[in-house]
Amino acid sequence: MTTPVGSGAVVDLLGALAYAELTAFDRLAEDARLAPTLDGRAALARMAAAEIGHHGRLHDRLAELGADPGEAMAPFVRVLDAFHESTRPSTWLEGLVKAYVGDGLATDFYREIASFLPEPDRALVLDVLADTGHADFAVREVRAAITANRAVPGRLSLWGRRLVGEAMSQSQAVIAEHDRLAELIIAGTGDLSGVALLIERITRAHTKRMKALGLNP
């Protein structure tokens, strides 16, 4: 990618992601308490710990770029908090589906945008987005629950679809409010049909994740 990227857009993206990691920590830590076993609780707590490690790296990079990390995160607090408020899991399995399906969706989205960034920020973002063990653990637990109880997949499929709906509407809101991010996406994808292809790729990956859990996308 040779698109010139304004440093403002880089700060926006790193700020959004830094706050996303901080809320991911919160949420995984909260959901850990829903775990039916001490092992499950520790597994989610370890994932939360990985997120805060990522947060620290993004925070340090923002400072290195001369940005105030708190200010860079501030514009994304409301919308990310709103997303988590509106998708608060009420069971351990809902929490796992959110960790896998919701975070997977967010990760794909940030990863697409990261490909438009210059180095070293592209590598940093791709690195902090690397799976922290959510995937295998969530897939294993959810599939086991589905085998044990046939009512589970129907309810969790609905939950998965609700997560996507909320994620889509919140990310549209973020982009609409942040011109520099919107410009970055348009410039990076080339044009609006590029944007449509990006959404298609993200949707396809989401469908694959729902199926991996044994759910109906």
- Please report, as ranges, the residues that interact with a copy of itself according to CB under 8 A: 19, 22, 25-26, 29-30, 32-33, 37-39, 41-42, 45-46, 48-49, 52-53, 55-56, 59, 69-70, 73-74, 77
Q: Looking at beta carbons only, is 37 or 90 nearer to a copy of itself?
A: 37
Q: Looking at beta carbons only, is 1 or 42 nearer to a copy of itself?
A: 42
Nearest to 210 by CA among 106, 105, 114: 105
- DSSP codes, the chain: ------HHHHHHHHHHHHHHHHHHHHHHHHHHTT-SSHHHHHHHHHHHHHHHHHHHHHHHHHHHTT--HHHHHHHHHHHHHHHHHHT--SSHHHHHHIIIIIHHHHHHHHHHHHTTSPTTHHHHHHHHTS--SHHHHHHHHHHHHHHH-TTHHHHHHHHHHHHHHHHHHHHHHHHHH-HHHHHHHHHHHSSHHHHHHHHHHHHHHHHHHHHHHT---
Closest separation in Å from C-beta 87 to a copy of itself: 17
Q: Looking at beta carbons only, is 144 or 199 nearer to a copy of itself?
A: 144
Q: Looking at beta carbons only, is 57 or 143 nearer to a copy of itself?
A: 57
Amino acid, res. 31 = D
Q: Looking at beta carbons only, is 18 or 124 nearer to a copy of itself?
A: 18
Closest separation in Å from C-beta 183 to a copy of itself: 26
Closest separation in Å from C-beta 25 to a copy of itself: 5
Closest separation in Å from C-beta 52 to a copy of itself: 4
Closest separation in Å from C-beta 118 to a copy of itself: 26
